[in-house]
Amino acid sequence: MNATLAFLGALVVGLIVWLLWRHQRARSAFTEREEILKELAEIERKRQALIDEAGHRGLTISTDKALKRVEELRDSYVISGNDTAAREVDQMIRKLREENGPEIPIEKAYALMRDLDGKHG
């Protein structure tokens, strides 16, 4: 009987230790996640500041270079058979070329990139 109680006591203590350890790991993971999110937000803030500064200076980028990623996205839609999405991207490409000609303002190109990331990851 005493051996059974001792075994159950050890089992309960072990379970409590394990639960405390899991709780600490979960808190640590949450803290690490929060730190990573803060770092990503800071990177984005700095990147936006650089884009804003370049925009104030009137810098532009080649429309072809700005649309390279968009064209790759369109091609991936074509390959996957998503013709509707490919046509929508083609319309966007045509519109940007018509609106901007051979050069696009840097802040507009960056906004396009962010929009695409938001919609298509």
Same domain? For 73 and 115 the reply is yes
Residues in the chain: 121
| 103 and 63 part of one domain | yes
Structural domain total, the chain? 2
Domain hosting residue 120, numbered range: 58-121
Angle between helices 63-80 and 106-120 (to 10 degrees): 20
Q: How high is the pLDDT of residue 40?
A: 92
Pair 60, 105: CB distance under 8 Å: yes
State both tokens at 31.
Answer: 């803290």
Residue 66 burial (CB count, 10 A): 21
Between CA 15 and CA 22 the distance in angstroms is 10
- Write down the pLDDT at residue 110: 86
Predicted TM-score (pTM) above 0.95:
no
pLDDT along the chain (121 residues), means of 10: 69 78 79 89 92 90 88 90 90 89 88 74 53
Both 64 and 37 in one domain: the answer is no
Q: Is residue 64 part of a domain?
A: yes
117 and 64 in a single domain? The answer is yes
The 10s digit of each residue's pLDDT in 32-60 is 888 899 999 999 899 899 999 988 999 99
Q: Is the residue at 49 inside a domain?
A: no
In a domain, 19, yes or no: yes
Question: Is 110 in contact with 59 (CB distance < 8 Å)?
Answer: no
